[in-house]
Structure 1
């Protein structure tokens, strides 16, 4: 007789897992990022090993390039982005102060309601209440306070990725050797190779697409006359790694800046439409052509994954949500008992391709 699952234990396990992911986020984020980086860079390490280059030298070169790239980005773009973040609240206030008949009507209704409330409250004697005004820290102060944690996570990620890459195939070999049966060993090797291939295809393709998209959006914002179009190119490149949410946030940011430049609502709307049109062309036409159909994921699942990782791991979680989802899908596809879940995570084209392969075999 088949034993029924204990849903109480499963529920307790999921609650504890969610608590642990949130509680240990400062430690888990660099660990997950380093493992993803190792899986992406492992094919490069194998090619260099075939050419006689030691894994330690390859790992040092990769980590040095990654560290230098981060330092270059911080050095050149931290000031304009920080300045934009500091000016953004004032820009939003200017946007709120624009004439709006509906808003004026609501304000008048609010004033009438407030007057009625004050009239009722005046009939009652209430003791005075002391109010303490707490000034919210600015963006720069919050950034400076969080800088040590962010720097520590980046250093831990790069150092751990160095040790993983420098170990060459030792890490994967030890993982395979720990499995008891030969069939499990073979499945583990195939699984790791599939994860490396899928992550390499996705991140390589999406990075190239985002780079080109950043150039196009930067040129479009320059054509609109917005200040510092290179900054908008960098923002578009970075935000487009976050599906759906990144494009909307970048378009809103550009439209707010456009409104403060032109002081015209229609210009802000057209800038928003320009940004969204370019990202829609990229998302609906270019990305499906460049990224293989076998890497397509269920859009609903992608949105939920991005929201979930944003909830537990903030901005970094939104960036690594899709790579983690691809890794989970490959693992589910390689295990017969969970293959149905892997099909569910895939997009329509990927599901059709998988069904054709199953029929062929």
Structure 2
């Protein structure tokens, strides 16, 4: 007789898993990022090994390029982006000057909030200016406070990725050898190869697309006369790795800066529309053409995955949400007992692309 699932145990396990993912995020984020980097760079390591280059040399070159690239980006773009983040609250406050009913409503709400703030401050014999100073520096202070943690995670990711790549195929070989049956070993090898192929196909294609999109958006922002268009190109390139949310946030940021430059609401709206039009062309036309249909995922599942990883792992979680989802889908597709879940995670045309689904149906 088939044993029924104990939903109480499953619920307790899921609660403990969520708690662990949140509690150990500082350690899990670099580990997951390093494993994804290892799987992406395995084809490169194998190709270099065929040319006689040791895996240690390949690992050193990959990690050195990654470290130099991150250092270059931080050195050239950290200051203007930090300055923009520091000026952003003042820019948002300046939007109240818009000659519209909405702006007048915001002004009235601001006056009411200021009156309430003065009343509380007078009751506590404390000046209101102290509250304003703390709020204006809160965002920048949080960035400075989180910088050591982020730096430590980047270093741990690069070091762990070095050890994984330098091990060559021994890491995967030992993982396969730990399986008891030959059929499981063969399925594990096929699974790892498919994960490598799909992650490389996705990240390679999306990086090229985002690079082109960043250049186009930077040129568009320069045509609108916004200051430092190169910074907007970098922001567009980086944010577009985050599905859905990245494009909206980048468009809002550009429109806020545009309003403060021109002091005109319609110009800000047109800048927002330009940004969104370019990202919509990329998302609806370019990306489906460049990236194979085999990588299609359920849009609802992608959105939920991005929201979930943003909740537990913040911005980094939003970036790695789709690669983790691709990896999970490959694993679920290769396991007979979970294949139905893998089909659910796929796009609308999964049934026509997966011959196994047709045979089983």
Tell me the TM-score normalized by structure 2.
0.92
Q: Does 1:186 align with 2:219?
A: no
Report the equivalent of 1:120: none
Cα distance in 2 between the residues matched to 1:110 and 1:357: 58
Report the equivalent of 1:144: 144
Per the TM alignment, residue 358 of structure 1 is displaced from its structure 2 partner at its CA by 3.7
Report the equivalent of 1:270: 270
Matches within 5 A, 1:255-266: 255-266=255-266
Cα distance in 2 between the residues matched to 1:316 and 1:147: 14
Report the equivalent of 2:304: 304
Report the equivalent of 1:92: 92
Deviations 1:84-107 (A, max 9, x none): 111110000001232222453676
Structure 1 stretches lacking a partner, 5+ long? 118-127
Tell me the TM-score normalized by structure 1.
0.92
Cα distance in 2 between the residues matched to 1:157 and 1:318: 17
Report the equivalent of 1:282: 282
Q: Is the 8 A contact 1:295 1:350 kept in 2?
A: no
Q: Is the 8 A contact 2:176 2:188 kept in 1?
A: yes
Cα distance in 1 between the residues matched to 2:198 and 2:187: 16
Per the TM alignment, residue 144 of structure 1 is displaced from its structure 2 partner at its CA by 1.9
Matches within 5 A, 1:1-361: 1-104=1-104, 135-136=134-135, 137-355=137-355, 358-359=358-359
Report the equivalent of 2:120: none
Paired residues in the alignment total 352
Deviations 1:7-40 (A, max 9, x none): 1111110000000000000000000000000000
Cα distance in 2 between the residues matched to 1:113 and 1:255: 26
Q: Aligned with 2:300: secondary structure?
A: helix
Deviations 1:239-295 (A, max 9, x none): 000000000000000000010111100000000000000000000000000000000
Q: Aligned with 1:348: secondary structure?
A: coil
Deviations 1:168-195 (A, max 9, x none): 0000000000001111111110110000
Structure 2 stretches lacking a partner, 5+ long? 117-122
Runs of 4+ in 1 over 4 A off after TM superposition: 105-115, 128-134
Q: 1:278/1:113 Cα in 2 relative to 1: closer, same or farther (>3 Å)?
A: closer
Cα distance in 2 between the residues matched to 1:170 and 1:157: 20
Q: 1:356/1:201 Cα in 2 relative to 1: closer, same or farther (>3 Å)?
A: same
